[in-house]
Structure 1
Amino acid sequence: MAKRDGRSNLRGRAGRMQGGRGSGRASSGAVRLWGRHAVEAALKNPERRHRKLWATHEGVASLDGELPPGFPLEYAGPEDLARLVSRDAPHQGLVLECDPLEDLHLEEVLDGDPDRPIVVLDQVTDPHNVGAILRSAAAFDAAAIVTQDRHAPPEGGVLAKSASGALEIVPWVRVVNLARALEEMAEAGYWRIGLAGEAEATFSQALPSGPVAIVLGAEGEGMRHNIAAHCDALARLPISEAMESLNVSNAAAIALYAVATRESD
């Protein structure tokens, strides 16, 4: 397809689909994303199967690339787009309906680059937090995030908006048994460090030179006892006594930074 203004093509499989007016309701099994970064990243992800894009003319013009011929696009006003998303959601003139990403198996991650850390989330259910963690994981080149399927938010617009495109970049592995997944990581040579405010050792003291899995629990409750028991070490971030704890997404970002810079320490 010809390029315009030097912009790259938007990829994916949506070009094979035919257009048509939508009902304004999410289709069965569909994921609805909004906001320029989330929508643009999904459009550029060849693993996404797109169903339909509702957009303002300004929203389409803001995209870094062109839609394929035959893309299912319907122009709409800002007030119409607002009816397709959560209340007061900043859609930025773009709302995309697409299929969820295909499931990824833990073995596929463990067979990858061992120098890239894995982030394990134990019952972190707030989509804003999981989205922010995905964003940090992308920034610091994490191999994947791993969650328990029943205790994690689904793909969706709030999470994708918080992730700012990282949902399409960072592999997300959902497992049935998180303790068993940690055992598989140990068998693959990963050192599992659980973040816990009551731990004696700091994260930098517990950080080895080899493969690392960072384990974080939900705010308030922290890691469950069984998950903490499957960690090789528990460690804390050395924060001021003036604060009891950090937001889980902030803690994840600091730990990932520590892993990324450990060779220069």
Structure 2
Amino acid sequence: MTSLANAVFKRYLAVRPHQAVQARGKKKSSSSFDKFFPQQDNGRKKQWEVLNEDKASWFKRKYAHVHAREQDHTADPYGKRKAHVDKLKEIKVQAKLDQKRHKSKFPNRNIVQKLLNDNPLLEYVYGTNSVYAALLNPGRSSHSRVLYYGSIPAKILQKVNELKIATELVDKHRLNLLTNYGVHNNIALETKPLQPLEIAYLGDVDTTAADLTIHESGFDNEEVVHSLPYSTREDSKGFPLGLYLDEITDPHNIGAIVRSAYFLGADFIVMSRRNCSPLTPVVCKTSSGALELLPIFYVDKPLEFFTKSQEMGGWTFVTSHLADATAEKYTTGKALSVHDLNGMCTKLPVVLVVGSESQGVRTNLKMRSDFFVEIPFAGSGTHERDPDRIVDSLNVSVATALLIDNILACK
């Protein structure tokens, strides 16, 4: 046995001599085992030992709810869960049936009806005053029919009978669709859109006959002259007053301006064709029908319109603006206060120019203006909640109304 052991050990020495030296008694140096695997602190007690509680009971008390979450909740011994789910499905199915039943009351429009309702040659003027004013406007070449719900107001019915216009009783839903859910007052007029005259410039003013000339660009650059009467007031208005709207894209603002201009006594309105909102039924409704009663013209070349009107007709252009550094070079020596406008129409014909709230009047039009006017801020200093003066201007329709009133006033 001893000889066999010696033979094995010799063989081991031949294969791993360095390990055999350590095995023979050479003191092993301290390895990194103690460094990376320190001995456990036997003085540290477990949590259940601190609480003097059994390990099994401590784990059961602490983690019992975790096992409860894993329990099977699909069991429904009394069928209550299934009954609740079936009831929810039944409610959902019934809601879909009610929606289909509601839609079935209104027949779907086919492609022909859609093209007819989206016809660019037709529009639907809505609202009691707007419909009545449209019936009085000779500029509307033709009317197709009057759609109403309930009954037609007496004054509209009388005019409809005079013009022999067809009427059709419809429901409110159809009126809502035709007017894009506007305040239609249960009546709408199917008619052709307005086609304002496109003019080149304003001509001479005849104060004796109280009319002015408007020059229209015809074919082959031939000018067609139109005569337009204007209103006069004793000691306050001997010359006409017009408005020029530049880049006002909100139809509600345009409608409010038209309403104020008609009410306060302006004679006509000129708009840039390319930069302003078109004269839609929304504008007519916002103006309460004044759109149909006040002459409105389009201009394709605003710069030429300003220059020729000043040279050929002697018109004075007064532009509203905000005093800022970028406009100072155009307003030097031309700035007027609001009170300086009083009685201006007793001396010369005036065109008041107003622009959008964000950008105002364009710079090239400012350069061709005769005077500039600004409505000063009259607030009581800077408010504690508004240190940067957030409200620093008026709505364009309100500002226009104030300026018109000052121009036509004579104090």
TM-score normalised per structure 2: 0.54
C-alpha distance in structure 2 between counterparts of 1:66 and 1:231, whole Å: 44
Deviation digits for residues 191-223 of structure 1, max 9, x if unmatched? 110001216531332563311110011111011
| Contact 1:26–1:32 under 8 Å retained in 2 | no
1:145 and 2:269 are equivalent in the alignment? yes
C-alpha distance in structure 1 between counterparts of 2:159 and 2:246, whole Å: 39
State the SS of the aligned residue for 1:194.
Answer: strand
C-alpha distance in structure 2 between counterparts of 1:80 and 1:60, whole Å: 19
Structure 2 unaligned regions, length at least 5: 1-112, 203-212, 216-226, 231-237, 324-330, 382-390
> Structure 1 residue aligned with 2:247, among 123, 128, 131?
123
Range with bigger deviation, 117-126 or 56-65: 56-65
1:79 and 2:173 are equivalent in the alignment? yes
User: How many residues align structurally?
Assistant: 241
* 2:355 alignment partner AA: G
State the SS of the aligned residue for 1:91.
Answer: coil
C-alpha distance in structure 1 between counterparts of 2:308 and 2:259, whole Å: 25
More helix by share: 2
User: Residues 203 and 185 (structure 1 numbering): CA distance in 2 closer, same or farther, change over 3 Å?
Assistant: farther
Structure 1 unaligned regions, length at least 5: 1-21
State the SS of the aligned residue for 2:365.
Answer: helix
Deviation digits for residues 109-129 of structure 1, max 9, x if unmatched? 475447221100110111001
State the SS of the aligned residue for 1:32.
Answer: strand
* 1:160 alignment partner AA: C
Aligned pairs for 1:52-91 (under 5 A) are 52-61=145-154, 63=156, 65-68=158-161, 70-87=164-181, 89-91=182-184
C-alpha distance in structure 2 between counterparts of 1:142 and 1:53, whole Å: 31
Aligned pairs for 1:113-262 (under 5 A) are 113=230, 115-187=239-311, 188-198=313-323, 200-205=335-340, 208=344, 209-241=347-379, 243-261=391-409
Higher RCO by CA contacts (8 Å cutoff, separation 6 or greater)? 1
> Paired residue for 1:45?
137
| Contact 1:195–1:203 under 8 Å retained in 2 | no
Shift of 1:68: 2.4
* 1:223 alignment partner AA: V
| Contact 2:198–2:300 under 8 Å retained in 1 | no
| Contact 1:117–1:211 under 8 Å retained in 2 | yes
State the SS of the aligned residue for 1:220.
Answer: coil
C-alpha distance in structure 1 between counterparts of 2:130 and 2:240, whole Å: 24
C-alpha distance in structure 2 between counterparts of 1:130 and 1:152, whole Å: 9
Shift of 1:105: 4.2
* 2:315 alignment partner AA: Y
C-alpha distance in structure 1 between counterparts of 2:168 and 2:187, whole Å: 10
State the SS of the aligned residue for 2:180.
Answer: coil
- Identity score, percent: 27
* 1:228 alignment partner AA: K
Deviation digits for residues 159-200 of structure 1, max 9, x if unmatched? 110011111111111111112111232131111100012165
State the SS of the aligned residue for 1:155.
Answer: coil
* 2:130 alignment partner AA: A
C-alpha distance in structure 1 between counterparts of 2:398 and 2:306, whole Å: 22
> Paired residue for 1:29?
121
Shift of 1:98: 1.1
| Contact 2:255–2:291 under 8 Å retained in 1 | yes
> Paired residue for 1:19?
none
| Contact 2:135–2:159 under 8 Å retained in 1 | no
Shift of 1:100: 2.2
TM-score normalised per structure 1: 0.82
User: Residues 164 and 134 (structure 1 numbering): CA distance in 2 closer, same or farther, change over 3 Å?
Assistant: same
State the SS of the aligned residue for 1:95.
Answer: strand
Range with bigger deviation, 170-179 or 194-203: 194-203
User: Residues 73 and 64 (structure 1 numbering): CA distance in 2 closer, same or farther, change over 3 Å?
Assistant: closer
C-alpha distance in structure 2 between counterparts of 1:28 and 1:38, whole Å: 20
